Structure 1
Amino acid sequence: MNVAERYVFVVEWYDPNASLLRRYDLLYYPVDGSVEMHDLKNHRVFLKRTPYESVHLQDLFIGNRVTIFSRQLHLIDYGDQYTARQLCNRKEKTLALLKPDAVPHAGEIIDIINKAGFKISKLKMMMLSRKEATDFYVDHLSKPLYNELIQFITSGPVIAMEILGNDAVNEWKKLIGPANPCVACTDFPETIRAKFGTDSVRNTVHGPDSFATAAKELELFFPSSGSGGPVNTAKFTNCTCCIIKPHAISEGLLGKILIAIRDAGFEISAMQMFYMDQVNVEEFYEVYKGVVAEFSDMVTELYSGPCVALEIQQNNTTKTFRELCGPADPEIARHLRPGTLRAIFGKNRIQNAVHCTDLPEDGLLEVQYFFKILEN
């Protein structure tokens, strides 16, 4: 490895104290995993070169977010031509769409996506209007199954994801298999459609055929303006809130946690990935300030990367969702409640896999915070 080799990215960081979006050059030295930052506005060194074990070369691609010393940095561009030439072909993004018949198997499919090496950078459970469905299926207008496709895709919630990976468009198409699940079962039995599909309409998942189509479809589900797009599926009734924490997302545990929640008999009625900043997290956790000794560390964890918020329907009269989560300390949970989410997936009191609403009367307020206030 070239000792002098370095890669440069332009990154943005939202400074909550000044309410400003600040821009830096982020330099990464692969020889020792060290990082350095330069303030682009003031033309000065912001962070001297220092080793930082939590950032790796595979994390550095346009559109991704990395956290360095509690600052969540959004990589928006290459900082020089050398970096652009060396790294521009490494990562690609595409749409992974779970159709209504796939939603009950969302945990298994997301687990397959993670194990295949994809990174989920956006995720939202949503309901498509007829107009959104016709926009999505505009290229199928002349096909015999067109009306059936429109009817099915609007019959229930879908889960849209932006996934990132090497040659993502082609690799995702390989992973999902042929459009006809019968053909998939025969010729490609390990594919998603072979495992979960029924017929050419109810074939569980969709993937764009080209990079251009992927860009167009991602814009439909996740508009670049940051607003609009299909509505979320939150019901705001008889509900409680669950947040799957950033460490669990980065460790590839999202699918497994969704499976555990479903298998415990709980319905997930809304789901969305959020990138929170310090101000949002402190506002959300305000009730714990001055009460919980680890408050500062709790805040840092929740904005250290993407989290996934869930609206859980509290229909189970024999067991509350909080009981499924278990004690806040995973070590205690493993001794007293070994079957709980925190016992199975948690690491310590801060990285304990999930947040859940403590008081029943706060469930709706927490759900509204994510699915009404933050989304808007």
Structure 2
Amino acid sequence: MNLSERFAFLAEWYDPNASLCRRYELLFYPADGSVEMHDVKNRRTFLKRTKYEDLRVEDLFIGNRVNVFSRQLVLVDYADQYTARQLGSRKENELIQFVTSGPVIAMEILRDDAICEWKKLLGPANSGLARTEAPESIRALFGTDSIKNAAHGPDSFASAAREMELFFPSSGGCGPKNTAKFTDCTLCIIKPHAINEGLLGKILMAIRDACFNISAIQMFNMDRANVEEFYEVYKGVVSEYTEMVTELYSGPCVAIEIQQNNAAKTFREFCGPADPEIARHLRPKTLRAVFGKTKIQNAVHCTDLPEDGLLEVQYFFKILDN
């Protein structure tokens, strides 16, 4: 081990007594686990080099919060090029490898002061620290460490705009490829009224708890022409056709590719009768019985015929998505 090696970070600490954010240079020496701090503004030593066993190299990455002798510091930047090369590339490579190891879900979240409020809900980047400082946060509840920390959120308006453009291009082009498999599949649509009533999460959990595999999911705003084309098979057959069309383009809906053996039949049984009142009498644990209101606002659409499962999935995840 290189005994002279050190890593340097710019760190911020909020001083509650002065209501000021103070900036320090934090030096960490991995050979003996010692730390040193310098006051950036006043250009003086704040903490002489001292051994500190509660800090590890794994804790040192931008955005993390570390405790040094009971003082909580936020690591905001690298203080020299050596640290950036040595630790920045290592952390970034680990993160890239994990994020690209499987599917992710990207969401646009709207509310007042959305970036700040989402960061509060997420909690500290290190899930271990989150469990101490923000035990009800997303990363505390669902994360394991600083890489597998459940969810990401941008730190600034600029970052948010850049990331939104990556996943949801303003030019109208396509973002990253969706995850639809187009094999052994059927379609589920969570209808606009259910989205508006805040039932999306509950319905997804019910589908997951019933051991169905959600292999693709995406939100769509459909226009009347698309809905009429999709529901064409019901025209002249179902008396509620016009109302069905109106409901499906009344707001955003969520399309889901479900994978399962004999997917269309099995999932249709799980959805239950189209009329929620009948479902509550005959199949009280089905999706429509639990979440449906009327025969039109019955929470979900599901594929009726096995031979239509793939066609309906393709309509959303190949035709509409492109």
- The corresponding residue for 2:295 is 349
Report deviation, 1:228: 2.4
Report deviation, 1:142: 2.7
Aligned-partner SS, 1:249: helix
1:309 and 2:255 aligned: yes
- The corresponding residue for 1:40 is none
1:373 and 2:301 aligned: no
Alignment partners' CA distance in 2, 1:249 and 1:277: 17
- The corresponding residue for 1:276 is 222
User: Which of 158, 173, 187 lines up with 2:104 in the alignment?
Assistant: 158
User: Which of 362, 366, 375 lines up with 2:308 in the alignment?
Assistant: 362
Gap regions ≥5 residues in structure 2: 1-85
Alignment partners' CA distance in 1, 2:220 and 2:119: 26
Aligned-partner SS, 2:255: strand
User: Which of 130, 144, 147 lines up with 1:198 in the alignment?
Assistant: 144
Report deviation, 1:316: 6.8
Q: Which structure: greater strand fraction?
A: 1
- Using a 3 Å threshold, how does the CA distance of structure 1 residues 316 and 205 change in structure 2: closer, same or farther? farther
Q: Are the equivalent residues in 2 in contact too, given 1:266–1:315 (CA < 8 A)?
A: no
Alignment partners' CA distance in 2, 1:172 and 1:232: 25
Query: What is the aligned-residue RMSD (CA, Å)?
Result: 1.8
Report deviation, 1:223: 0.6
1:207 and 2:153 aligned: yes
Report deviation, 1:218: 0.4
Aligned-partner SS, 1:159: coil
Alignment partners' CA distance in 1, 2:317 and 2:155: 31
Aligned-partner SS, 2:317: helix
For each residue in 1:341-362, what CA deviation from the matched residue of structure 2 results, as whole angstroms up to 9, or x when unmatched?
0000000000000000000110
For each residue in 1:224-265, what CA deviation from the matched residue of structure 2 results, as whole angstroms up to 9, or x when unmatched?
111121000000000000000000000000000000000001
Alignment partners' CA distance in 2, 1:344 and 1:212: 42
For each residue in 1:80-120, what CA deviation from the matched residue of structure 2 results, as whole angstroms up to 9, or x when unmatched?
xxxxxxxxxxxxxxxxxxxxxxxxxxxxxxxxxxxxxxxxx
Aligned-partner SS, 2:245: helix
Alignment partners' CA distance in 1, 2:299 and 2:282: 17
User: Which of 125, 140, 161 lines up with 1:179 in the alignment?
Assistant: 125
1:339 and 2:285 aligned: yes
- The corresponding residue for 1:263 is 209
Q: Which has the larger radius of gyration?
A: 2
Gap regions ≥5 residues in structure 1: 1-139
Alignment partners' CA distance in 2, 1:233 and 1:221: 14
User: Which of 222, 238, 241 lines up with 1:295 in the alignment?
Assistant: 241
Report deviation, 1:315: 3.1
Alignment partners' CA distance in 2, 1:154 and 1:143: 16
- The corresponding residue for 2:47 is none
Number of residue pairs matched by the alignment: 238
- Using a 3 Å threshold, how does the CA distance of structure 1 residues 257 and 375 change in structure 2: closer, same or farther? same
Q: Among the aligned pairs, what percent are the same residue?
A: 78
Alignment partners' CA distance in 1, 2:135 and 2:262: 36
- The corresponding residue for 1:66 is none
For each residue in 1:165-218, what CA deviation from the matched residue of structure 2 results, as whole angstroms up to 9, or x when unmatched?
010000000001000000000110000000000111100100000111101110
Moved over 3 A (4+): none
Q: Are the equivalent residues in 2 in contact too, given 1:266–1:316 (CA < 8 A)?
A: no
- Whose relative contact order is higher, 1 or 2, with alpha carbons under 8 Å and at least 6 apart? 1
1:259 aligned partner, one-letter code: M
- The corresponding residue for 1:222 is 168
1:335 aligned partner, one-letter code: H
1:253 aligned partner, one-letter code: L
